[in-house]
Homo-oligomer: A and B are copies of this chain.
Amino acid sequence: MKGTLTMLLAVVLLVQFATAQAPATTIMGFSDEGSRTQEALEDKFDSYIQAKNLDDWMKYMSARPHHVGSPYDKKVVDFMAEKFRSWGFDVTIEKFDVLFPTPKLRLLEMIAPDRYKASLQEPPVAGDTSSSMLEEALPPYNCFSIDGDVTADLVFVNYGIPADYEELEKRGIDVKGKIVIAKYQGSWRGIKPKVAAEKGAIGCIIYSDPKDDGYYQGDVYPEGAFKNEYGVQRGAVMDLPLFPGDPLTPGYGATDDAKRLEIDESPALTKIPVLPISYHDAEPLLRALEGPVAPASWRGALPITYHIGPGPAKVHLKLEFNWERRPAYDVIAKLKGSTFPDEWVIRGNHHDAWVHGANDPISGMVTVMEEARAVGELAKTGWRPKRTIVYCGWGAEEPGLIGSTEWVETHAEELKQKAVAYINTDGTGRGFLFAGGSHTLEQFFDQITRDVKDPQKGVSVFERRNALSMVSGGGKMSHYKLSALGSGSDYSPFFQHLGVASFNMGFGGESSGGEYHTMYDSYEHYTRFKDPGFQYGAALVKVAGRTTLRLADAEVLPFEFNKFAGTLSTYIDEVTKLADQMRSQTEKENELIKDGYYDLAADPTETFVVPEAKDEVPYLNFAPLQNGLHHVMQQAKAYSTSKAVKMSQDKRETLNQLLKDIERALTRDEGLPRRPWFIHHIYAPGFYTGYGVKTLPGVREAIEQRDFKEAQEQIDILGKVLDGFAEKIRWATKIIGD
């Protein structure tokens, strides 16, 4: 298929070169004639896009802090609703009452060996008026930390992920009864207090080391884009890999009449108090630590020797929050489909911010708005999408994808009937197109990346992304490869809780900075360092807009299964190798332990606790996965979209009904072990990585956790899921062939 397409494209390019005509290739899901119509529509769509709108709207929407429940958040919501209405959309604002704790008291002080009181403030900087709105802004905190008042010796735990605690154990260091200090990065932040609590720590401090997004990376704000010494990353720390959304209404909408858990009943809150701080505040604490020098990979860029402790630095952490419910507003703007009004293409971005959120989320939100405006312009010409297009501005994403999750949970049954796909954006910048999503739509998306031009270089965004791959040793890209989706933005409820095929996309790679979730993520910062002129914002409107429009107007929904099967095959290879490597690693490690090599190699002047030997890794029966894959591959080969577009309208409708739901064949209602909210069996956020994706999560995480009984169970389950998916593709082929 690919070979043929490439050849076709080559021929087309030659023809183009000779005659400068429009491309003669077809768009996936469209007939030849439909493709020509669609191209003309997209040309018109492009002609409406104005970068200046992105600029104007960002300026307004990020002018003041607009976190969940703040007055300006409501202003932003009303502004957006008014805009969507003015462009011809049918707009509703849905309100959910969700738990949203805000700081009442934040105290962090070192009481030994020296005294230091953490400032916990981000002062205004020159040239950025946004940074002076301290009274309106939420100060730095981690949302869904519990209240607490703890005093204990401090231990530096690197990123605070499980592997770091293994290093501590080798050094004979236990965090039980201690307060840990962990660096941001290396995992989603919520993992740090979760693991720390599992290990017995009684408090958790998280700080941004200058090595990761401060002066080590580049000049700091306001001179440059990176985190200055006072910048603090706010952020949620609920147990997101368990379930996102309102902690009091797990799995159902936080509507007015919903039955709510008591706060202390919610399993999503942290078990220990946690507070984020700046590197200015972290330095005295880290400097006061003694004990072993931290391993080389743990050390940051502060001008100190990084020690682990415990102590003699002793800290007092006291946190109290206002445990209130606040309104989360979702703006829902619909343009009814002319032919299939009950098939929905959903396109969203959140609007709530930790502070001003010029980049996160406004830079993405304004691309949704400009897309909607241009679609509104198209509608004014008499065009209507075949399917209903739903534009969404989500509230309360920052504390835990709450606005989108509550909406999805509330409308779950309707969405299962109607949703064709969900297309998400969030903060976006300058550079290269990065996109993740369902691999059943990878080939569809690949076409789009070849149709939109990079604003700096004039080649397609695919070609530019391919150049990056070439120069960084990744080789020539046969096609645009979607990354797998974990968590961290509003696609999660659609994708992993409902099994709706989803995308998440944005530009980046030339707009790094340290502003994320700080006071300094401002319009001033964005327009100096992220996407000055909003040319990449405009390009994103073109990419996401085509995704929306093609899905809305496709004659046959452009799902394809060869690419999915290819990707699946690499995942299965990975988990097979994971078990094999773990087996040989365990054997080797156990030999080193048993034969005393660790002991012999260790420096006797330093504490070294030889780890305990681990259970050996059994050989697992991977045949169910291999057979499942084989079936998927067979059926994928047989299925043909180009044949499907030639069918009668009736048959196409039958096929589309099947295709619309086909991603859901990769889910099971029972969900994943210990987290039934997550039903997708190919993609999930990692239980111990947070945002970071785990593909084939049931199998992979069981192996990683050395639960080989569960691993075999999950292999058997996943094999059946794959067989069921193959069967669905067979039906699709059968419809075409009938």
Contacts and interface: CB of A to CB of B under 8 A. Distances in A.
Interface of A: 210, 215-220, 224, 226, 293, 299, 301-305, 431, 456-457, 459, 463-464, 467-468, 470-472, 510, 592, 596-598, 600-601, 603-605
B302 A219 contact: no
A215 B459 CA distance: 48
Contacts of A470: 592, 597, 601
Given A303-B302, A604-B456, A293 B219 contact: yes
Chain A residues touching B, majority SS: loop
Contacts of A226: 305
A597 B471 contact: yes
Given A219-B293, A293-B218, A293-B219, A601 B471 contact: yes
A597 B467 contact: yes
A598 B600 CA distance: 50
B303 A600 contact: no
Contacts of A592: 470-471
A264 to B, nearest CB: 43
B305 A303 contact: no
B467 A303 contact: no
Enumerate the 8 nearest inter-chain pairs by beta-carbon distance, A residue then B residue, closest first. Answer: A467-B600, A467-B601, A303-B303, A470-B597, A471-B601, A467-B597, A510-B603, A215-B305
Nearest to A475: B588
Given A468-B601, A601-B467, A305 B219 contact: yes
B598 A303 contact: no
Contacts of A510: 603, 605
Contacts of A302: 303
Contacts of A210: 303
10 contacts: A215-B304, A216-B299, A217-B305, A226-B305, A302-B303, A457-B604, A464-B601, A470-B592, A471-B597, A510-B603
A603 B431 contact: yes
B305 A464 contact: no
Given A216-B299, A459-B600, A464-B601, 5 more contacts: A302-B303, A463-B600, A467-B596, A471-B598, A472-B601
A216 B210 CA distance: 14
Contact of A305 (B220, B304, B596): B220
A102 B252 CA distance: 81
Given A471-B592, A471-B597, A597-B471, A305 B603 contact: no
Nearest to A532: B605
A466 B463 CA distance: 50
A1 to B, nearest CB: 25
A420 B129 CA distance: 79
A273 to B, nearest CB: 30
A470 B597 CA distance: 7
A215 B303 contact: yes
Contacts of A220: 305
Contacts of A598: 467, 471
A210 B305 CA distance: 10
